[in-house]
């Protein structure tokens, strides 16, 4: 007989732990197991987003910037948020807060050092195979990453960088450098992301919005040379942070059955036009916990309103067809939107009013072409869209 649980959460990363925490907060009384390969959690990323001062996660926010900047070689746009600030949560603080909540709930178990392998629906229960044997569950929520060859997106946000410490004071800790020194060419948009925590310390990343997926460590040399150009004097690199995030994911996996649901980045949680996902994952986790406790049903990531889906698709189609124009478009957006509107556009679901402002800030011809030509075809051999 295999071990039985009511709910198996596959993956104890952002989505899996957020859901577990939300279920504990909702006093979910059934047996839950979280299967996670990592044997220990370390600080592996920082999550940033725009939010008002008080929210459900403000206790774990490590730094807020009321000001942020977007720049090209000949234009610097300064934003000062009025309701919204740009906020940072360190993953180690987030993981520890979730682990502490789960540890206090006797019906929850985080089983580390274990991989979920095949998952199959047997009618009244789901079987999850692991290297330590099978586990059966009434429901499975699967947050495991998609195998790279099945992950297709309009654009890839690829970044490599590190937490750096300088001997000379080099940073202005009051301002986040969101998209600094933007340039674009046939390969897409490039910029530097600078999150200063003091005059001597910052997370600095070289980022590209690229048409094809590539291993982020390919940007390591570019990051080092961008850093050298920016900093005078000795600099120490502490923790590296790299990623390759899908923007406008296609052929999303939803649940194969009413008992199995995909979630997190693998299920399209990231905002298509920007790659931000932390707040969307939190909203999804709260909605699933609410429904599981009251209705015993699973809720998929909300796909966004029809207008949001359509506008994101047009925006990304225009970007993929005119990659060389991207720096001008983002500069124009930052210039024409207020600070709060820019923040809402990047990390939340923009309203119709905001989309109209976005349209009015951008050149019309590429967007009209994108609207009428539809989205580029999927090029399966290269796991990308074909222009
Ligand atoms: C470096 C980085 C920085 C980011 N910064 C931001 C940001 O600033 N703001 C923002 O909004 N978004 C950001 N994102 C995007 C997004 O919010 C994160 O990727 C987020 O962690 C996605 O959550 P997730 O649970 O889907 O994936 P993850 O957090 O990656 O969790 C997936 C989990 O699945 C586990 N797993 C893998 N294989 C198996 C298996 N076989 N069985 C069981 N479990 C398995 C993994 O170990 C992992 O714990 C960032 C992403 C990265 C990579």
Q: Tell me the domain boundaries of the chain.
A: 3-46+91-148+249-294, 150-247, 306-386
Torsion sign over Cα 29, 35, 40, 43: negative
Nearest CA to ligand 1 atom 48: 13
**Ligand 1: which of 87, 142, 245, 247 to mutate, most ligand atoms within 8 Å of CB?**
245
Region 363-381: what's the mean pLDDT?
A: 69
What's the confidence (pLDDT) of residue 375?
57
Strands 152-166 and 46-51: unpaired
* C-alpha to C-alpha distance for 301 and 321, rounded to whole angstroms: 28
Query: Which ligand 1 atom is the nearest neighbour of the CA of 44?
Result: 1
- How far, in Å, is the centroid of ligand 1 from the Cα of 278? 9
Q: What is the pLDDT of residues 356-370, one digit of tens each?
A: 899 899 888 888 887
Q: Answer yes or no: are the C-beta atoms of 385 and 377 closer than 8 Å.
A: yes
Question: Which residue has a Cα nearest atom 53 of ligand 1?
Answer: 243
Instruction: Pick the atom of ligand 1 nearest to 244's CA.
Output: 53
Ligand 1 pocket list (CB less than 6 A): 10-16, 35-38, 45-49, 115-116, 143-145, 241, 243, 245, 264-266, 269-270, 276-278, 281
Nearest CA to ligand 1 atom 35: 11
Neighbours of 59 (CB within 10 A): 9
pLDDT exceeds cutoff 60 at 382: no
Residue-wise pLDDT tens digits, 98-145: 999 999 999 999 999 999 999 999 988 999 999 999 999 999 999 999
Q: Which pLDDT value is given to residue 387?
A: 46
Q: Are 385 and 154 in contact (CB under 8 A)?
A: yes
Mutate to test the pocket of ligand 1, among 19, 240, 249, 265 (most ligand atoms within 8 A of CB): 265
**Which amino acid residue places its CA nearest to atom 44 of ligand 1?**
11
Indicate if the pLDDT at residue 372 is higher than 60. Answer: yes
Average pLDDT, the chain: 91
pLDDT at 255 over 70: no
As a whole number, mean pLDDT of residues 341-351 equals 88
- Please list, in sequence order, all residues whose beta carbon lies within 8 angstroms of the beta carbon of residue 74, skipping any fewer than 6 positions away: none
How would CATH label the architecture of 3-46+91-148+249-294? 3-Layer(bba) Sandwich (3.50)
Query: For 212-228, how does the pLDDT look when each residue is reduced to its tens digit (9 = 90+)?
Result: 888 999 999 999 999 99
Which one of 11, 142, 260 would you pick to mutate in the ligand 1 pocket, going by the greatest count of ligand atoms within 8 A of its CB? 11
Closest CA to 202 of 146, 255, 260, 163: 163
Instruction: Return the ligand 1 atom nearest residue 117 CA.
Output: 41
Answer whether residue 340 shows pLDDT above 80. Answer: yes
Q: What is the pLDDT of residues 241-251, one digit of tens each?
A: 999 999 988 77
Question: Is the model's pLDDT at 378 over the cut of 60?
Answer: no
> What pLDDT is attached to residue 197?
97
From residue 300, give the alpha-carbon distance in Å to each of 43, 57, 127, 257, 268: 28, 22, 20, 12, 10
**Over pLDDT 90: what percentage of the chain?**
71
- Answer for the pair 378, 251: CB distance below 8 angstroms, yes or no: yes
């Amino acid at each position: 007989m295999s071990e039985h649980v009511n709910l198996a959460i596959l993956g104890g990363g952002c989505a899996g732990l957020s859901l577990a925490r939300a279920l504990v907060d909702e006093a979910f009384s059934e047996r839950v197991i979280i299967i996670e390969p990592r044997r220990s959690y370390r600080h592996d990323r920082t999550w940033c987003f725009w939010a008002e001062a008080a929210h459900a996660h403000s206790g774990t926010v490590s730094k807020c910037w009321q000001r942020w900047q977007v720049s090209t070689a000949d234009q610097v746009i300064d934003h000062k948020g009025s309701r919204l600030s740009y906020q940072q949560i360190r993953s180690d603080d987030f993981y520890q807060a979730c682990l502490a909540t789960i540890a206090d709930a006797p019906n929850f178990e985080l089983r580390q050092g274990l991989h979920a392998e095949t998952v199959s629906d047997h009618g009244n229960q789901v079987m999850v195979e692991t290297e330590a044997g099978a586990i059966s569950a009434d429901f499975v929520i699967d947050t495991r990453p998609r195998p790279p060859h099945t992950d297709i997106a309009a654009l890839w946000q690829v970044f490599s960088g590190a937490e750096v410490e300088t001997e000379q004071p080099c940073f202005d800790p009051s301002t986040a450098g969101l998209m600094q020194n933007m340039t674009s060419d046939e390969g897409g948009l490039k910029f530097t992301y600078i999150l200063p925590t003091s005059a001597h310390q910052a997370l600095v990343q070289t980022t590209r919005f690229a048409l094809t997926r590539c291993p982020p460590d390919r940007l390591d040399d570019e990051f080092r040379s961008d850093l050298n150009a920016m900093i005078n004097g000795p600099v120490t690199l502490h923790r590296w942070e790299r990623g390759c995030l899908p923007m406008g994911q296609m052929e999303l996996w939803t649940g194969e059955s009413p008992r199995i649901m995909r979630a997190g980045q693998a299920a399209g949680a990231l905002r298509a036009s920007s790659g931000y996902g932390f707040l969307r994952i939190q909203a999804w986790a709260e909605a699933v916990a609410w429904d599981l406790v009251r209705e015993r049903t699973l809720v998929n990531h909300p796909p966004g309103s029809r207008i949001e889906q359509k506008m994101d698709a047009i925006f990304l189609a225009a970007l993929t067809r005119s990659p060389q124009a991207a720096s001008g478009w983002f500069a124009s957006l930052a210039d024409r939107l207020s600070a709060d509107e820019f923040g809402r556009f990047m990390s939340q679901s923009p309203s119709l009013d905001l989309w109209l402002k976005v349209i009015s800030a951008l050149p019309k011809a590429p967007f009209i072409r994108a609207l009428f030509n539809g989205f580029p075809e999927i090029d399966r051999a290269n796991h990308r869209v074909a222009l």
